[in-house]
Chains A and B, each alone.
Chain A
Amino acid sequence: MSAAATLSVRNLSIMFGGVHAVEDVSFDVNPGEIFAIIGPNGAGKSTIFNLISRLYEPSNGSIHYGEHDLLKLPAHKIVKTGIARTFQNIELFEQATVLQNLLVGRHSHSSGNPLTDFAFLPGVKRSELEHRRKVEDIIDLLEIAQYRDERISDLSYGARKNVELARALCAEPSLLLLDEPASGLNNEETDDVGFWLEDIKHDLGVTLVMVEHDMNLVGSIADRVMAINDGRLITIGTPEEVRENAEVQQAYLGVSP
């Protein structure tokens, strides 16, 4: 596992067709904390994630994780620096089994090439078994053993959410970007997610950054919260501080202070 480091974002901006989707946003995420990003729909929360994981090209600004300058890396090298992510609308490999999905999560730790894999050399088998053992740990942690051999297309929505989280964990990240981990889940499932996230933070020592609408979940587990609106940063602080912030209240509830 790569050592935990500070994610520092400076003056990040991106334009979509002349509109600033994210404008001059700067923040730091400290190692070992749970950092939540909140804001109304269309505020640019997911866009920040997509910028960090290099799916979008920023028009300005910098993103560093530890000593890595992320903007110098292509999208598929980001996970090597220790950053894994989930997606808002679940992006699993639909026609593959849960186990196969999780094993793809191990991709950044495998060094295969088609020729050795074609021949299934003893070394390949050894590393396969090793990956399998790591995957099984995550399966135990998130209690998804009963789905292990199911196809994703046969799973329920809640199970898919868990599998996607598990797949990101299989990459053994030091920083996890979670795009709405509780959306679409019922209260009970949301509570489970809350416990797991705290477990992940404490037991695995993973730094968590999450975009979330469920303020109860954010209030109960987040160490710090960043509120944004219209692509601009409003405030960063503890959940209580942010909740009391007049501008946040206005953005969310439309009431003047």
Chain B
Amino acid sequence: MLQVNDIIHLAVTGLAQGCAYGLIALGFVLIYKATEVVNFAHGEFMMLGAFAVLAFSEALGGSFWPAFVLGCLSIGVVGYLIDAQIMRRIIGQSSASIFILTVAFGFIFRSLAGMIWGWQTLSLNTPFDGKVVIAEGLSISHDRIAIVAATAILCGVLYLFFSRTRFGVAMQAASQNQLAAFYMGIPVKRLVSVTWAIGAMIAAAAGALLAPVTQIDTTIGFLGIKALAGAIVGGFGSIPGALLGCLLIGIIEPFADFYFPAIKGVSAYVVMLLVLFVKPEGLISQTFQKKV
């Protein structure tokens, strides 16, 4: 049986993991809302982010924060270019082709990362290596707290950005009706690319923050698929729904791994398939019937 301390420990671990999923999900829900493209390569943005921060941190002699900012910005540039150079050309193609395209990006990024930084596991020094002792036998490490805090902060910042700034409101308008937004003089193309950049940056931040927990190698991008699963559980169309779903997945995971070791690592998919079986639209539905 689990002790109370163990339960709290697993729950906190799960919460932090869920927040990390949530950060990744935040990025691709933003992109989805703006362009209806589901970026299957979003986990790879996260992986690239972790590698970029690591590379900058080595180049700068181990200082974390400048490396963090530079790393996130450079992945943001990658996101912007992906949209401006490629995604923009294929608007209107069947959604099947677009999914396949983003999956292909994932494979390209993973191979490139492996070729540049190698296939072995690396670790990144972050300022969060201490831990808070709450009670005897129960402690929470700083890196986990950092993830939860970063999720809360980023959500707050994004909320303010979308509700208070001119740019953010324009982005919301464009995501609801691109054509109408275009007629109102909003540069829709650029906005969409910026959305990609923001989504990529959030993922990169998640990658850097997660680095102490997961270490860094080319396979951590698969977390993106789990984040997708979480977002689906919650309902893809809304950011709060997606976050909620990711937290749920994150918290269920350590317990499922504990009780059903046979499905270690894949419990997120089991939960998602179960939810989809019962409620195909996710817990919070966002699609409407087409008007005819």
Which positions in A face B, CB cutoff 8 Å? 46, 50, 55-56, 87-89, 91, 179
| 10 A-B interface contacts by CB (under 8 A) | A46-B292, A50-B292, A55-B289, A55-B292, A56-B289, A87-B292, A88-B292, A89-B292, A91-B292, A179-B292
**In the complex, what residue of chain B is closest to A88 when comparing beta carbons?**
B292
Distance in Å: Cβ of A170 to nearest Cβ of chain B: 19
A89 to B292, CA, bound (A): 7
Interface residues on B, range: under 10
Which residue on chain A has the smallest CB distance to residue B289?
Answer: A55
Min CB distance A102 to B, Å, is 20
Chain B 141-184 interface mask (CB, 8 Å, partner A; 1/0): 00000000000000000000000000000000000000000000
Give the Cβ gap from B286 to chain A, nearest Cβ, in Å. Answer: 15
Chain B residues contacting A87 (CB-CB under 8 Å) are: 292
**Which chain A residues border B289 with CB–CB below 8 Å?**
55-56
Report, nearest first, the 3 A-B pairs whose CB atoms are least far apart.
A87-B292, A88-B292, A50-B292
| Complex CA–CA separation, A91 to B289 (angstroms) | 14
Q: Write the chain A residue with the least CB distance to B94.
A: A95
B interface, by DSSP: helix, strand, loop or mixed? loop
**Contact flags B269-292 to A (C-beta < 8 A → 1, else 0):** 000000000000000000001001
**Cβ of A21 to closest chain B Cβ, rounded Å:** 11
Residues of the A chain whose Cβ atoms lie less than 8 Å from the Cβ of B292: 46, 50, 55, 87-89, 91, 179
Residue of A whose beta carbon sits closest to that of B292: A87
- How would you classify the secondary structure of chain A's contact residues: helix, strand, loop or mixed? loop
Minimal Cβ-Cβ distance residue in B for A95 = B94
Interface string of B26-51 (1 = CB under 8 A from A): 00000000000000000000000000
Output the least CB separation between A173 and chain B (Å): 18
**Cβ of B20 to closest chain A Cβ, rounded Å:** 37
- Distance, CA A136 to CA B199, complexed state (A): 54
Q: Which B residues lie within 8 Å of A179 (CB)?
A: 292
A15 to chain B, nearest CB (A): 14
**B residues in contact with A46, CB < 8 Å:** 292
> Measured between alpha carbons, how far is A30 from B292 in the docked complex, in Å?
25
A7 to B: closest C-beta gap in Å: 19
- The complex places the Cα of A36 from the Cα of B292 at a distance, in Å, of 18
Q: Which residue of B lies closest to A179 (CB)?
A: B292
A179 to B291, CA, bound (A): 13
Alpha-carbon separation in the docked complex, A89 to B289 (Å): 15
Starting from the known contacts A55-B289, A55-B292, 8 additional A-B residue pairs (CB-CB under 8 Å) come to A46-B292, A50-B292, A56-B289, A87-B292, A88-B292, A89-B292, A91-B292, A179-B292
Residues of B near A89 (CB, < 8 A) are 292
A91 and chain B: residue at smallest CB distance: B292
Bound Cα distance from A55 to B289, whole angstroms: 9
Minimum distance in angstroms from B97 CB to a CB of chain A: 13
Give every chain B residue within 8 A of A55 (Cβ-Cβ). 289, 292
CA distance A166 to B289 in the complex (A): 26
Nearest CB in chain B to that of A46: its residue? B292
* Complex Cα–Cα for A50 and B290 (A): 11
CA distance A53 to B85 in the complex (A): 44
A91 surroundings in chain B (CB, below 8 A): 292
How far is B292's CA from A179's CA once the two chains are assembled, in angstroms?
9
The residues in B between 250 and 278 inclusive whose CB is less than 8 angstroms from any CB of A are none
Tell me how far the C-beta of B94 lies from the nearest C-beta in chain A, rounded to whole angstroms. 9
Distance of B162 from chain A, by nearest CB (Å): 24
How far, in whole Å, are A50 and B292 apart by their CA atoms in the complex?
Answer: 8
Residue of B nearest to A56 (CB): B289
Q: How far is the CA of A50 from the CA of B291 in the complex (A)?
A: 10
Q: Bound complex: CA of A87 vs CA of B292, how far in Å?
A: 6
Distance between Cα atoms of A223 and B133 in the complex (Å): 85
Query: Whole-angstrom distance between the alpha carbons of A55 and B291 in the complex?
Result: 10
In Å, the complex CA distance between A237 and B289 comes to: 33
CB distance from B139 to the nearest CB of A (A): 51
A56 to B290, CA, bound (A): 11
What's the least CB distance linking A176 to chain B, in Å? 16
In the bound assembly, the distance between CA atoms of A23 and B289 in angstroms comes to 21
Q: With the chains together, A128 CA to B116 CA distance in Å?
A: 59
**In this complex, what residue of B is CB-closest to A89?**
B292
Question: A179 CA to B289 CA in the complex, in Å?
Answer: 18
Question: Measured between C-beta atoms, what is the minimum distance from B292 to chain A in Å?
Answer: 5
- A88 vs B290: C-alpha distance when bound (angstroms): 12
CB distance from A42 to the nearest CB of B (A): 11
Q: Which residues of B contact A88 (CB under 8 A)?
A: 292
Whole-angstrom distance between the alpha carbons of A56 and B292 in the complex?
A: 11
CA distance A46 to B289 in the complex (A): 14
In whole angstroms, what is the CA distance A223 to B284 when docked? 48
The distance in angstroms between the C-alpha atoms of A46 and B291, with both chains bound, is: 9
Assembled-state Cα–Cα distance A219/B292 (Å): 25
Residue of B whose beta carbon sits closest to that of A85: B292
- Bound CA–CA A88/B292 (angstroms): 6
CA distance A35 to B289 in the complex (A): 27
- The minimal Cβ–Cβ distance linking A141 to chain B, given in whole angstroms, is 25
Query: Which B residues touch A50, using CB under 8 A?
Result: 292
| Residue in B closest to A90 when the chains form the complex, CB atoms | B292
Give the complex CA separation of A142 and B284 in angstroms.
47
